[in-house]
């Protein structure tokens, strides 16, 4: 029998041999890193479909919240309550388009002309003060238009908007009909010992988003109706259109309020100094009510999101994913924060139990 040489005894398993423990550990680590890279690439390439699915989930949360709320006063089956809420929602959307198409069509054209004229007047005033030059003014306009174009690249056409909206509505309705079916489908991919935790976290995230969306809708109603009534009382032109736009833009925290405020002030000063001052007062009163009464009340009952965190998320999501990212930044951040808090709380409880047993 031949004695093994030093060279033979020094042989180690090769890359194709997974029998060695060290090789298996390295292969597992490599697989984890490769999986993370593929997940990041998938998130980049599939960002828009993923955001449409998230939008459908948010719409399903709104329908589910309305169905649960209706169940408190109308003791009928869930499918009937869901049908009532869905039909009421589509009825409101149809009325909004009808109202905007008949009553507000002329006001919309006038609003565009007023905003354009006021913007040119403001830029001219800045130029006379020497704050910007003619070339700087042109560059500023091009940068703003370019930024808006990048922000809305994914939904730049009417067909894209309509298609995306229909997909969000269909996904939301299907999920709202049988939400537990999709929860079980996700839980099926998890280990058995993790499924109960997933169901608890899923229920908590759903509860948080229902409260968040309820507060958002309440804020939209208060801002829209309040703006309309106060502008109408103060004699500001296009009060109905501005109230509708303010209510719709209230769904986007921070940025929506800034846009609606600029529109309101521009229209107010186009009708005179008194109307402009009244528009500023209206904006401050409505935003104060929403910011110091509605938002804190909702935050106490849901997840307390710092305004700076929400604004940063909106800027990042808007730059990365366009208008849908901007629109869904708030619920995404709320869902992530709720999930991380629940996971952290559960791990802390497990470690505490382990120390008590030890």
The rounded distance, in Å, linking the Cα atoms of 263 and 285 is 16
Does 163 have pLDDT greater than 70? yes
As a whole-number percent, the residues of the chain with pLDDT over 70 amount to 73
Residue 327, C-beta contacts closer than 8 angstroms, at least 6 positions apart: 55, 251, 252
pLDDT for the residue 115: 67
The rounded distance, in Å, linking the Cα atoms of 66 and 87 is 12
Q: What is the pLDDT of residues 260-270, one digit of tens each?
A: 888 888 888 87
Which among 227, 222, 176, 179 is positioned nearest to 199, based on CA atoms? Answer: 179
pLDDT for the residue 143: 47
Kindly indicate the confidence band of residue 84, based on its pLDDT and cuts at 50, 70 and 90. Answer: very high
Burial class (CB in 10 A: 0-12, 13-18, 19+), 16: exposed
CA dihedral sign, ordered 256, 259, 265, 270 = negative
CB 322 within 8 A of CB 155: yes
Q: Of the ranges 122-136, 186-200, 253-267, 314-328, which one carries the lowest mean pLDDT score?
A: 122-136
Q: What is the pLDDT of residues 332-355, one digit of tens each?
A: 888 888 888 888 888 877 777 667
pTM of the model: 0.71
pLDDT for the residue 211: 86
Mean pLDDT, residues 42-50 taken together = 76
Domain ranges in the chain are 47-347
pLDDT for the residue 146: 44
pLDDT for the residue 352: 75
pLDDT for the residue 300: 63
Q: What is the pLDDT of residues 188-245, one digit of tens each?
A: 888 888 888 888 888 888 888 888 888 888 888 888 898 989 988 888 887 888 888 8
The rounded distance, in Å, linking the Cα atoms of 136 and 115 is 20
Q: Of the ranges 14-18, 150-154, 164-168, which one carries the lowest mean pLDDT score?
A: 150-154
Check residue 11 and give left, alpha or beta (phi > 0: left; psi -120 to 50: alpha): beta
Kindly indicate the confidence band of residue 87, based on its pLDDT and cuts at 50, 70 and 90. Answer: very high
Q: What is the pLDDT of residues 62-77, one digit of tens each?
A: 899 889 988 888 888 8
Which among 235, 238, 243, 246 is positioned nearest to 274, based on CA atoms? Answer: 235
Does 88 have pLDDT greater than 60? yes
Count of CB atoms situated within 10 Å of the CB of 4: 10
Mean pLDDT, residues 132-137 taken together = 54
User: Phi and psi dihedrals of 285, rounded to 5?
Assistant: -65, -45
């Amino acid at each position: 029998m031949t004695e093994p040489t030093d060279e033979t005894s020094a042989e180690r398993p090769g890359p194709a041999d997974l029998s060695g423990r060290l090789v298996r550990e390295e292969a597992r680590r490599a697989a984890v890193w490769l999986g993370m890279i593929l997940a990041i690439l998938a998130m980049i390439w599939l960002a828009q479909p993923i955001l449409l699915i998230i939008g459908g989930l948010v719409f399903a949360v709104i329908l589910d919240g309305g169905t649960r709320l209706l169940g408190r006063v109308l003791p009928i089956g869930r499918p009937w309550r869901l049908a009532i809420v869905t039909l009421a929602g589509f009825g409101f959307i149809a009325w909004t388009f009808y109202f905007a198409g008949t009553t507000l069509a002329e006001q919309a054209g006038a609003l565009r002309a007023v905003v354009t004229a006021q913007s040119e007047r403001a830029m001219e005033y800045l130029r006379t003060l020497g704050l910007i030059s003619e070339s700087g003014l042109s560059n500023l306009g091009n940068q703003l238009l370019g930024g808006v174009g990048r922000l809305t690249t994914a939904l730049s056409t009417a067909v894209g908007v309509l298609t995306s909206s229909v997909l969000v509505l269909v996904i939301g309705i299907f999920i709202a009909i049988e939400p537990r079916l999709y929860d079980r489908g996700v839980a099926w991919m998890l280990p058995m010992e993790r499924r109960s935790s997933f169901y608890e976290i899923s229920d908590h995230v759903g509860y948080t988003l229902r409260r968040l969306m309820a507060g958002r809708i309440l804020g939209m109603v208060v801002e829209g109706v309040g703006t309309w009534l106060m502008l109408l009382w103060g004699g500001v032109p296009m009060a109905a259109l501005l109230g509708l736009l303010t209510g719709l833009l209230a769904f986007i925290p921070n940025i929506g309020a800034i846009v609606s405020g600029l529109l309101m002030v521009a229209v107010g000063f186009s009708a005179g100094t008194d109307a402009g001052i009244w528009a500023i007062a209206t904006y401050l009163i409505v935003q104060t009510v929403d910011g110091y009464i509605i938002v804190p009340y909702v935050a106490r009952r849901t997840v307390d999101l710092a305004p700076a965190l929400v604004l940063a998320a909106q800027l990042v999501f808007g730059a990365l994913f366009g208008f849908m990212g901007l629109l869904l930044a708030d619920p995404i951040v709320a869902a992530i924060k709720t999930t991380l808090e629940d996971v952290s709380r559960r791990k802390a409880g497990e470690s505490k139990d382990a120390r008590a047993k030890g």
